[in-house]
Amino acid sequence: MVNVLIVYYSLGSNTKTAAEAVAEGCREKGAEVVLKTGTEANENDLLKCDGIAVGTPDYFSYMAGGLKDFFDRTFYPTQGNVTGKPYVAFVTHGGGGRAIKSVESICNSFKFKKVAESVLVKNRPSEHDIIKLKELGHALVAAIKR
Ligand SMILES: Cc1cc2nc3c(=O)[nH]c(=O)nc-3n(C[C@H](O)[C@H](O)[C@H](O)COP(=O)(O)O)c2cc1C
């Protein structure tokens, strides 16, 4: 069984909706999904999973503080044990979307391996966005199985 961790943050509901679509995509490919906010998830969640999907709104051109909190708390406890872990990322934004840079930069510091192009969604995910987000989940599970 493939285990996927989805860590996201969302003050409104846009990124939560996006995270749920990624989760559905992962489940469609047979994965077991743990879906948590950045303030709920911990280092054990990260160590246990086979791959991770990370999602955030763009707040001031950076990731949300609630997701950054997850990365801050888990970096030292997982350092060296998550190298090469497959990851995908998604961002919802109001027209900018530069927060993706901060996400990809931190994932690079953790030495995760990016396995699909990140998905950017303007505000609330449309039906088309939901399809792209599900496909992101498919791509993550496929990369884990490879
Ligand atoms: C405090 C705050 C700062 C924001 N800053 C940006 C920004 O710099 N660039 C941008 O494109 N959107 C910005 N937005 C818009 C949000 O990224 C966008 O509405 C997002 O979908 C909200 O996600 P959520 O509903 O999951 O909280 C900001 C929103 C808030 C509340």
- Does residue 58 have its Cβ closer than 6 Å to ligand 1? yes
| Residue of minimum CA distance from atom 3 in ligand 1 | 59
**pLDDT score recorded for residue 123:** 97
| Residue of minimum CA distance from atom 7 in ligand 1 | 60
| pTM of the full structure | 0.98
CATH of the domain at 135: 3.40.50.360
**pLDDT score recorded for residue 130:** 98
- Other CB atoms within 10 Å distance of the CB of residue 45: 19
Q: Cα 51–56–58 angle (5° rounding)?
A: 145
* Structural domain harbouring 106: 3-145
**pLDDT score recorded for residue 81:** 98
Backbone angles phi, psi at 108, to 5 degrees: -65, -40
Mean pLDDT, 10 residues at a time, over the chain (146 residues)? 97 98 98 98 98 98 98 98 98 97 98 98 98 98 97
